[in-house]
Amino acid sequence: MAVLELLGKSHLLWVHLPIGFIFLALVLILLKWKKPEAPYLNLLPLIWRLATLAAIFSVFSGLLLSENQEGTNLFFHQYAGIFLTMSLITYLIFNKNFILIFIGILFVITIHLGASLTHGEDYLFKKKKKEITQLNEVELYEDAIVPIFKAKCFSCHKPGKSKGDLDLTNYEKMGDKEELVRRTHLPKSHKEFMPSNGKAPLSKEQLAILSYWVEIGAPKTKRLAQLQLDAKRKSMFESFFKLNENPLLSLNVKPAKYDHLAKNGFMIYPIFRQSSLLEVKYTGKGKPDLKLLQEVKKQVVWLDLSNTGLRNEDLKIVGQLENLFKLNLSKNDISDQGITALGKLKHLTEINLYKTKVSTEALNQILQMPNINKIYVWETELPPLYLDSIAKIKPAVAFIYRR
């Protein structure tokens, strides 16, 4: 029932109250030693009552929340919490100071285990996740396999909750690793499929990496640099560590309104669904009103102004579109002078200048751009032989100028 589920989830709300109240009460008791007449000590009984009430709510919501869960941490947390609540009630009734010792101990146990359940046992002293920027840095087991286990297996196979007696956090105690491969590759409906209990299966990538690791003998300390990776495996790891992700996808911009542009001859829409990045092409009659582009200054990544009667002055506005990746200025009467306005386009990877009047100065300017890798310069003022020699000096850039 959804209501019970919600009540169960309210446990996470309630627990903060007894923590606060008990902590406050304990602090006040310590102060009592130093200043026995302090007026706020009158509040102590009230605080204990509030703490008890909040603890009772916590226990009930906690029981609902832990409906289908199990594990040693949960077991001890649950009973510590229950005994804590019982101690609080006993203290309220009998008001004996020695009960406070029990309350103190049970308090610490309960909250510590509760926190471990929420964010993992190693939270306080967890190693900071290594930022992988190069494949050479990767340690196969530590950086690839352990995260896969963490994502898909640890919830049931760790110390304190070792289903099937399997603890995957410990390399030495892992047992038959081929069994891991076998089980994770089974069809989801199979009895022995892992991960079980409706948990998401390993992704194709995770399966491939796990299989590879077991295939080469499941080494604990081998780095990728020590292994002879073929091209396919290399790109598998690159993709796993997100080393070859298109920089377009890591751009973070707020979505912009562009109805105004659409009404004025601009064809404009997101580069893919739910993206705030935009593709713009001018398809209207007459010259485009480029000032409108300033409304989407940060969002435009692909811009096509081919054959729109652009002049050199117009490129000043284009140069302000800071996130442009692809720019098509072909078939316009523009030249080197206009291109100077584009100097700040640091993301630009592709520029189309066919059938324009650009020449060597413009080309040099464009080659300064840090990310440029494709330049279309057919039917420009640039002689093909000149471009042949430039192409040799700049092998990382593709020059397209011959049919």
Judged by the rule CB under 8 A, the positions of this chain that interact with other proteins are 246, 248-249, 267, 269-273, 275, 281, 283, 328, 330, 350, 352, 354, 374, 376, 378, 400-403
- CA atoms of 13 and 191, how far apart (whole Å): 38
User: Rounded to the nearest whole angstrom, what is the least distance from the CB of residue 63 to other proteins in the complex?
Assistant: 41
Q: Nearest approach, Cβ of 362 to other proteins (angstroms)? A: 16
The answer to whether residues 41 and 29 touch, using CB atoms and an 8 Å cutoff, is no
Residue 207, both tokens? 């399966």
SS3 at position 400 = strand
Mapping DSSP to helix (H, G, I), strand (E, B) and coil, where does residue 284 land?
coil
DSSP 45-91: HHHHHHHHHHHHHHHHHHHHHTTT---HHHHHHHHHHHHHHHHHHHH
Minimum distance of other proteins from residue 337's CB (angstroms): 22
CB of 282 within 8 A of CB of 266?
yes
Please compute Rg for the chain using Cα positions. Answer: 33
Identity at 153, one-letter amino acid code = C
Least Å distance between CB 268 and other proteins? 10
Cβ distance to other proteins smaller for residue 168 or 268: 268
Q: Which two tokens stand for residue 171?
A: 């390399």
Strand partners, 267: 281
Q: Minimum CB separation from other proteins for residue 238, in Å?
A: 13
**How near is the Cβ of 205 to other proteins at its closest, in Å?**
12
